[in-house]
Every structure is written in C-alpha cells, then in structure tokens.
Amino acid sequence: MRREGHISNVSEPRLTCKSGVWIGENEEYRLEVPDATFQLYVQACLEVRGVLQPTREQVEWAVEYVCRLAYWRGCWKHGDCSIRVRFLTKRRGN
C-alpha cells in the first residue's frame, strides 16, 4: 500500500542545490531554479495539501518532493521567467 507523499523512485533525476541554484537534468532538458523560487514552490506544495503551519518533517517531505525533476515537467509552459530551461538534443550518427 502506498502512503501519501511516498517518493517511489529514488533513482529518478533530482535537483541539487549548488551556490543558491537548484540544478538538475535528464535526457530531455536541464533545469536551473533559483533558491528563492524553489522555496516558493515548496511552500505552495504544502499549501496545496492544506498544510499552513508545517512541521519540520512536512517541510523535509516537501523539499524531497519538489527536488524530483519530474515535478518540474512542463514548468516552462507557465511563464515563470526565473526558471531556466535548456532543452537537450541527442545527436545520433553525426
């Protein structure tokens, strides 16, 4: 049975914080999110779940949840100009 908030695939691409910027990439794109923006998304993740005064454990869970690169899929469609996306292409045979 899956509990709410369980992060099932720990080997999936994740964002890591380097010098105040959360960075991650997969075979499709590279993502760079300023820490201030990342923290707003963590807060929003909690608020969407009705958590207005989170415990330390709830904040830790939200950070882990938002760290998943899959969480950000399609974010470039929402017009948040603080998030930098670079699409990666694989060249075969050239």
As for how many domains the chain has, the answer is: 1
Does residue 71 sit within a domain? yes
Does residue 93 sit within a domain? no
CA terminus-to-terminus distance, the chain? 47
Q: What is the mean pLDDT of residues 32-55?
A: 97
| Domain of 60, in residue numbers | 16-87
d(CA 67, CA 61): 10
Does residue 5 sit within a domain? no
Does residue 50 sit within a domain? yes
Percentage above 70 pLDDT, the chain: 84
Which residues are registered as beta bridge partners of 14? 68
Does residue 59 sit within a domain? yes
What are the pLDDT digits (tens) for 54-90? 999 999 999 999 999 999 998 888 888 999 999 997 5
d(CA 84, CA 69): 13
Does residue 51 sit within a domain? yes
pLDDT at 8 > cutoff 70? no
Does residue 92 sit within a domain? no
